[in-house]
Amino acid sequence: MSIEFSLQSARPTEVEADLLVIPVLAGAELGPGGDALDAALGGGLAAFMDQAHFEGKRAATLAVPAGDGVASGAVLLLGVGESSELDADAFRRLGATIAKRSRKHASVASTVVDVPTDAVERVDAAQAFAEGVVLGSYQYLEYKSEGEAGQLARVTVLGRRGARVARALDRGARVAQAAAWTRDLVNVPSLDKAPETVVASTRALLRGTGVRVTVWEGQKLVDERLGGVIGVGQGSSRPPRLMKLTYSPAAARTSLALVGKGVVFDSGGISIKPASGMETMKTDMSGAGAVIGAMSALADLEVKTKVTGYVPLVENMPSGDAIRPGDVLTHRNGKTVEVINTDAEGRLILADALALAAEDGHDAVIDLATLTGACVVALGEKVAGLMGNNDAWTDQILAAGERAGEPIWKLPLPKDYRKQLDSEVADLKNIGDRYAGALTAGLFLSEFAGDGPWAHLDIAGPARAGSDDGYLTKGGTGFGVRTLLELVTKFRKPR
Ligand code: BES
Ligand code: ZN
Ligand code: ZN
């Protein structure tokens, strides 16, 4: 169910919503609409907050008995903390808090976006708030017999009218809806997520969005020499696919390629993973999910650049047909790889996809992949690792991540480590030595990315959340969708 946002300048006490949320700043200072509420309640609000020890700390809430003077059914005070600390991410989190408190309500109205702050422009606050509401209300109930779906359908943002702010609310809702779709796909159990099924879901999602979907399978993958995709996929009874998604607006002057790792389940293959935690490997297609989800919103966001998605989809399974350690694969660009560890499979399928993207000659390429546990060790579960061959391009990505509120940290690609990938029998092998696994994985990919601007975002940590936290919900997070949509909106050819 999608949530509708509207911007109104009505008096908060006269708005008829199921829930009215009034912000309170640190020190129990009433925010916009607070005085009107106080007057409508007969002037006891300060004493009421005092008795409840409510100080306006960020995300603290206090229910207020609504009287006849208030048109809404219920009233909630929402702490927003210090106004100087109210940046975009704070609004995203406040949106999520409101969403969680409105689960049982169909409509909510709030003045929170009107809280004055120097830490963010009001348009950006509005977008972030809408994102927070939609992402914070996300639930995955597909496999629950008696899951209770949230009721929230309408959000009225109270404050000064302005076309830019109204558009920002719509944009935030659209961006978050794309990320929610990605969360859904990531959360699907692998049993119901064969490569072929992902193709079908993608086709259904992209129908009517101006994105063309072409799919390679079977002999076509052989004819097109995608040795990595075929090799990794051959252990599974559910065969691999390569999807190409094309968004080509009239008069586009720049062209960007998005590549996403789509391992629908990563058992490790013959180099099988330990049992504990293996269930989380249903999320090993999060890079693919981010690319597909982002592409679904390009037309709605009126993106002007050409965007092409390359999505290899495989299941990494051990079987009599699976590739073995020691096997050699030949990739799209002719390079041969000795597979030392079949669990380092993501780079093998990305190798083909990156080579394809390089052939097509885009202005820049970015890949997203849940690629290495080493990146999680280095940066934890909230921060993605960025590597690349062009500083202007990685700077653009860092800036997009910053604006989108998705933490990204740049890592190096030390030339000196390349020799770790030297193979005795092939052009290179698929793993390095014990240390710096995120970087040797990045170096491996760089061998297939060609000479144009390319960057690699390792999202092994942030693609999944271990618990609910603000606008993140346990399971798939949709990480990357917001950054990609910022990136395509402001894309400039890197030099
Ligand atoms: N899908 C995993 C990486 C991963 C780990 C994603 C943890 C999310 C959370 C990847 O295919 C993998 O297994 N990588 C190996 C590489 C190793 C064999 C060189 C790893 O990181 O252990
Ligand atoms: Zn693996
Ligand atoms: Zn993997």
Q: Residue 76 class from Cβ within 10 Å (0-12 exposed, 13-18 middle, 19+ buried)?
A: buried
Q: Is 348 in the pocket of ligand 1 (CB under 6 A)?
A: no
Q: What is the pLDDT of residue 304?
A: 98
Cα 269 to ligand 2 centre (Å)? 8
* Residue pointed to by tokens 């990136």: 487
Active site residue 273: yes
Let me know how long the chain is: 495
Q: What is the pLDDT of residue 351?
A: 99
pTM of the model: 0.98
CA–CA dist 89, 96 (Å, integer):
11
Cα 137 to ligand 1 centre (Å)? 30
User: DSSP alpha helices (H): ranges in 296-436?
Assistant: 346-360, 373-379, 391-404
* Residue pointed to by tokens 């083909």: 352
CA 485 to chain centre: 10
Tens of pLDDT along the chain (495 residues) come to: 699 999 999 999 999 999 999 999 999 999 999 999 999 999 999 999 999 999 999 999 999 998 889 999 999 999 999 999 999 999 999 999 999 999 999 999 999 999 999 999 999 999 999 999 999 999 999 999 998 999 999 999 999 999 999 999 999 999 999 999 999 999 999 999 999 999 999 999 999 999 999 999 999 999 999 999 999 999 999 999 999 999 999 999 999 999 999 999 999 999 999 999 999 999 999 999 999 999 999 999 999 999 999 999 999 999 999 999 999 999 999 999 999 999 999 999 999 999 999 999 999 999 999 999 999 999 999 999 999 999 999 999 999 999 999 999 999 999 999 999 999 999 999 999 999 999 999 999 999 999 999 999 999 999 999 999 999 999 999 999 999 999 999 999 999
Active site residue 474: no
Q: Which conformational region is residue 89 in: left (phi greater than 0), alpha (psi within -120 to 50 degrees), or beta?
A: alpha
Residue 244 dihedral angles phi and psi, to the nearest 5° = -120, 125
CA–CA dist 281, 137 (Å, integer):
25
User: DSSP alpha helices (H): ranges in 363-436?
Assistant: 373-379, 391-404
- Amino acid (1-letter code) at residue 256: L
Q: Is 325 in the pocket of ligand 1 (CB under 6 A)?
A: no
CA–CA dist 335, 177 (Å, integer):
39
Among the listed residues 273, 304, 418, 493, the single catalytic one is: 273
Sign of CA dihedral 260, 127, 131, 28: positive
- Amino acid (1-letter code) at residue 386: L
